[in-house]
Amino acid sequence: MEMQTDDKIAIQKLLYHAAYSLDVRDLETLTSCFAEQAVIVCRQNLLDDIH
């Protein structure tokens, strides 16, 4: 089954926002990219600077 172009674009945008928010350490935006019950596990201390 082929994905629709709109679905592909939506997934690409979501991945972009998640990656960018991690890069700039924006935890609020990062968590908004996932389901409410999602658990984010970070093996490095990338999020330590977020206050």
Please choose, from the candidates 1, 43, 40, the residue with its C-alpha nearest in 3D space to the C-alpha of residue 21: 40
> With contact defined as beta carbons under 8 Å apart, do 5 and 13 qualify?
no
> With contact defined as beta carbons under 8 Å apart, do 30 and 15 qualify?
no
**What residue ranges do the domains of the chain occupy?**
1-51
What's residue 6's pLDDT? 95
What's residue 40's pLDDT? 78
Neighbour tally for 30: CB within 10 Å: 20
CA atoms within 13 A on the CB side of 46: 15
Q: Give per-residue pLDDT as tens, 1-51.
A: 788 999 999 999 999 999 999 889 898 999 999 999 998 777 666 556 555
Please give the structure tokens belonging to residue 37: 């019950």
The model's pTM: 0.69
